């Protein structure tokens, strides 16, 4: 079998290392030709030693490149991900850089690679219509890696020509799901990072606790599946066993179930259309006992409605929501602001943003920059 070459953008992160776990299991099938990370140089050196890519890249230049990893081409700087895929020209790009910082790489991967395997949801939240238009024009598949979107994509394989009435996105509720609402405001970084079912990077774990993550995922689903916001339902499902569902006109619902293990959706995208086992234990339904569901509590999770409203308004507002959230989450993780400040910062930025059209990637970055200025002002005012 011919090996599929793959770039792993965000190779040292949660998604990146789980992707490499699958590459490690199937050395005859995949070749990690290009590894990109931000600043975790030592971790990347180890991965380069093990996977021997053609190209490796770091956004922040390290002090020294060890002798034994100099066999590959090294690229440094903020635009290293784009340059690295241009140099390696892999068949697939697994886009798992966190935040809008990954948008350029998704854009370039569409030009260079045969397929884009997308974990970096912020690229679609901010550049959604442009990215999907480009993918359609070039006829390049965008294979979702986000577990909910992978679940929907998997269910859609059984759709035939039938229209889909609604999408149901499941949400774990995050680390503070069972906390009294009045205590949530002062949750510490440690409290928020203790996710009950998924083990993920810091930013997305905070996003789960505010449920901005589900808001971002509504926007992501809107673009990936061309579904209006009012036909995307969110349901809290604490066990994280049903990864999401599609509903047909006759009321029939298809769901995709599995353990909460990101190697499931990552492997599905890597092997598509073939399923490749990654060593997960089968689900034991008798042991699970029950699966439960609840409507999201709007008071506990105000960010969810903000995201729905931003998507309804369209234009620059989803970009502003994302930019404000990135600034607020980074400030919370630095312990500059309280957990309870994140939602009001996003709300204030959205209120102060006047909607503009997004017609090119430059418009996305302009809207993002404007939102970041507003959000940083809020952080400055609120800093503890």
* Least distance (Å) between residue 52 CB and Mg ion: 31
The two tokens of residue 126 are: 């901010």
Of the pair 49, 159, the CB lying nearest ligand NAD is at 49
* Least distance (Å) between residue 13 CB and ligand NAD: 2
Phi, psi of 125 (to 5 degrees): -60, -40
Among positions 47, 69, 204, 324, the unique one binding ligand NAD when judged by CB under 6 A: 204
* Least distance (Å) between residue 199 CB and Mg ion: 13
Using rule CB under 6 A, residue 120 touches ligand NAD: yes
Please choose, from the candidates 271, 326, 359, the residue with its C-alpha nearest in 3D space to the C-alpha of residue 102.
Answer: 326
Q: Which stretch binds ligand NAD (CB under 6 A): 13-21, 82-90, 246-254, 342-350?
A: 13-21
Of the pair 201, 382, the CB lying nearest ligand NAD is at 201
Q: Look at strands 92-95 and 164-171 and give their pairing.
A: unpaired
Three-state SS at 171:
strand
Using rule CB under 6 A, residue 94 touches ligand NAD: no
- The rounded distance, in Å, linking the Cα atoms of 265 and 210 is 23
Q: Which stretch binds ligand NAD (CB under 6 A): 95-103, 132-140, 278-286, 339-347?
A: 95-103
* Least distance (Å) between residue 183 CB and ligand NAD: 26
- The rounded distance, in Å, linking the Cα atoms of 82 and 104 is 7
- The rounded distance, in Å, linking the Cα atoms of 124 and 51 is 29
Among positions 146, 207, 220, 341, the unique one binding Mg ion when judged by CB under 5 A: 146
Among positions 146, 220, 247, 341, the unique one binding ligand NAD when judged by CB under 6 A: 146
The entry of ligand NAD, Mg ion, none that residue 98 binds, CB within 5 to 8 Å by partner kind: ligand NAD
Among positions 4, 5, 6, 11, the unique one binding ligand NAD when judged by CB under 6 A: 11
* Least distance (Å) between residue 132 CB and ligand NAD: 17
Q: Which residue is nearest to ligand NAD (CB)?
A: 13
Please choose, from the candidates 116, 149, 356, 113, the residue with its C-alpha nearest in 3D space to the C-alpha of residue 262.
Answer: 149
The answer to whether the Cα torsion of 295, 122, 191, 240 is positive or negative is positive
Most distant CA atoms of the chain, gap in Å:
63
* Least distance (Å) between residue 257 CB and Mg ion: 15
Phi, psi of 242 (to 5 degrees): -85, 120
Residues 148-167 binding Mg ion (CB under 5 A) are 148
CA distances for 315 relative to 233, 254, 363, 365, 367, angstroms: 22, 32, 10, 13, 9
DSSP letter (8 states) at residue 357: -
Cα 140–Cα 119–Cα 143 angle in degrees, nearest 5: 30
Residues 251-290 binding ligand NAD (CB under 6 A) are 262
Instruction: Give the residues lining the site for Mg ion (CB under 5 A).
Output: 146-148
Instruction: Give the residues lining the site for ligand NAD (CB under 6 A).
Output: 10-16, 36-38, 40, 59, 81, 96-98, 101, 119-122, 146, 198, 200-204, 262
């Amino acid at each position: 079998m011919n090996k599929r070459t793959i770039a792993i953008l965000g190779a040292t992160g949660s998604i990146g290392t789980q992707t490499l776990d699958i590459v490690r299991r199937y050395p005859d099938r995949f070749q990690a030709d290009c590894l990109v990370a931000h600043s975790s140089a030592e971790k990347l050196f180890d991965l380069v030693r093990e996977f021997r890519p053609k190209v490796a890249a770091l956004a922040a230049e390290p002090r020294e490149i060890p002798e034994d990893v100099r066999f590959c081409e090294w690229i440094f700087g903020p635009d290293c991900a784009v340059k690295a895929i241009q140099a390696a020209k892999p068949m697939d790009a697994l886009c798992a850089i966190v935040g809008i910082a990954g948008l350029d790489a998704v854009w370039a991967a569409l030009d260079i690679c045969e397929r884009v395997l997308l974990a970096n949801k912020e690229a679609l939240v901010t550049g959604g219509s442009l990215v999907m238009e480009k993918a359609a024009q070039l006829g390049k598949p965008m294979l979702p890696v986000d577990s909910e979107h992978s679940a929907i994509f998997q269910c859609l394989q059984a759709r035939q020509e039938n229209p889909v009435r609604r999408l149901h996105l499941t949400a774990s509720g995050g680390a503070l799901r069972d906390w009294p609402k009045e205590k949530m405001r002062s949750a510490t970084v440690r409290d928020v990072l203790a996710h009950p079912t998924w083990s993920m990077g810091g930013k997305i774990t905070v996003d789960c606790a505010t449920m901005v993550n589900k808001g971002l995922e509504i926007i992501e689903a809107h673009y990936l599946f061309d579904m209006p916001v009012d036909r995307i339902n969110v349901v809290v499902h604490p066990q994280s066993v049903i990864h999401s569902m599609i509903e047909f006109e006759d009321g029939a619902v298809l769901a995709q179930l599995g353990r909460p293990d990101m190697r499931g959706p990552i492997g599905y995208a890597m092997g598509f259309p073939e399923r490749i086992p990654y060593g997960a234990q089968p689900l034991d339904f008798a042991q699970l006992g029950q699966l439960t569901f609840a409507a999201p509590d709007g008071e506990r999770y105000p960010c969810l409605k903000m995201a729905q409203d931003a998507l309804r308004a369209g234009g620059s507002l989803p970009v502003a929501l994302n930019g404000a959230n990135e600034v607020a989450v980074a400030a919370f993780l630095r312990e500059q602001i309280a957990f309870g400040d994140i939602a009001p910062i996003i709300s204030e930025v959205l209120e102060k943003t006047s909607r503009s059209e997004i017609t090119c990637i430059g418009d996305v970055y302009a809207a993002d920059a404007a939102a970041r200025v507003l959000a940083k002002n809020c952080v400055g005012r609120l800093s503890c």
